[in-house]
Amino acid sequence: MPIRKAVIPAAGLGTRLLPATKAVPKEMMPIVNKPAIQVIVEECVSVGIELIVLINGRYKGALEDHFDVSYEVQDVLALQGKAELLDRITHLSQMVDIVSVRQNRPLGLGHAVLCARPVIGDQEPFAVLLPDDLVDAEQPATGQLAKVYDETGMGALALVEVPPGHEPMYGMVAGDPMGGRRHRLRTMVEKPPAGQAPSNLGIVGRYVLPGSVFGHIAATAPGKGGEIQLTDALVALMEREGVVGHLLEGRRYDTGEVAGLIEANLAYAMKDPVLAERLRAFMRTLV
């Protein structure tokens, strides 16, 4: 079954990037010349997603505005004959529908995903993309997981190898190897203390889940930090239907923190030959 819908939880406050995020949502921080949210939406479009449910919060209207058709800007560009730029700012809104749902209480990631239930329903699989996590990969991360879902019939989530000491920042898992990069998960624990994780494999923000997960989230009690954790709902899903962890191909950046945002910018800029040449020379003067 093709994955047609995606949820992007974007109601978080972005405290790790303060003061940049006092008045500007963290998802609007640029990756070269695109806001991070656009890179995530482009990932959705590239794997055939037709409907995105953006879970939004207070003061974050810029995320919705960004995907509006902006007639003011378009008219100016059209007058100036800047067709390429015009296409660059309009094509996304023609490729995907974006519905915005408000998460009106900060009850955690599980709750944020649950806010999409009335739009997505319990009958079809859907993707979840956490916009802090950028994955630079030949095959988009969501596409990698959609393939796992398709071939195994089980919910799939993305894994990376977590360096020692970083376990308290991730949902940590352990599982049985299924061949290739796949593990059938046996244990999941949200942000364990350092040294107490079941393995070195941690979850990063890409999931393809069956619609039945909504029922599990709805039945999940508050967990770590008093929040309704997606990881806890996935434990219930794992026990009843199975969940596969897929070690991501590609490179992942945490753009929700300063160093990760800068690294992502450098890495993405270096893909552009003109920027790359300039940056290479500039970096030599610094290091």
Which is closer to ligand G1P, CB of 170 or CB of 268?
170
Which residue has the closest beta carbon to ligand G1P? 171
With respect to ligand G1P, which residue has the nearer C-beta, 4 or 16? 16
DSSP state of 251: E
Rounded-to-integer distance, Cα 202 and Cα 216, Å = 21
User: Which two tokens mark 152?
Assistant: 């195994």
Nearer residue to ligand G1P within complex by CB, 27 or 132: 132
Binding flag, residue 57, ligand G1P (CB under 6 A)? no
- Judged by CB under 6 A, the residue of 29, 120, 129, 203 near ligand G1P is 203
Rank residues 130 and 209 by Cβ distance to ligand G1P and give the closer one.
Answer: 130
Contacts with ligand G1P by CB under 6 A: the residue count is: 14
Residue 70, Cβ density class (10 Å: 0-12 exposed, 13-18 middle, ≥19 buried) = middle
CA distance 121 to 239: 22
Q: In this chain, which stretch among 44-52, 121-129, 135-143, 203-211 interacts with ligand G1P, using CB under 6 A?
A: 203-211
Structure tokens at 129: 């993309």
Taking the alpha carbons of 133, 231, 18, 116 in that order, is the dihedral positive or negative?
positive
Backbone angles phi, psi at 84, to 5 degrees: -65, -45
> Shortest gap between Cβ of 98 and ligand G1P (angstroms)?
21
Structure tokens at 158: 């993305």
Q: Among residue numbers 90 through 119, which ones bind ligand G1P (CB under 6 A)? A: 109
Which amino acid does the sequence have at 128?
Answer: V
Query: Which residue number, 77 or 113, has a Cβ lying nearer to ligand G1P?
Result: 113
260 binds ligand G1P (CB under 6 A): no
Question: Closest Cα to residue 118, out of 105, 96, 101?
Answer: 101
Nearer to ligand G1P, 106 or 121 (CB): 106
Tell me if 171 contacts ligand G1P by CB under 6 A. yes
Binding mask 117-136 for ligand G1P (x = CB under 6 A): -------------x-xx---
The nearest distance, CB 55 to ligand G1P, in angstroms, is: 12
CB-wise, 207 or 268, nearer to ligand G1P? 207
User: Helices (DSSP H) in 115-192: which residue ranges?
Assistant: 117-120, 141-152
**Residue of 21, 190, 235, 237 interacting with ligand G1P (CB under 6 A):** 190
Q: How far is CA 111 from CA 9, 77, 213, 232, in A?
A: 10, 41, 12, 11
Cβ-based neighbours of 114, under 8 Å, separated by 6 or more: 214, 217, 218, 228
Q: Nearest distance from residue 54's CB to ligand G1P, in Å?
A: 16
Q: Is 173 in the site for ligand G1P (CB under 6 A)?
A: no
List of residues contacting ligand G1P (CB under 6 A): 109, 130, 132-133, 170-171, 190, 202-205, 229-231
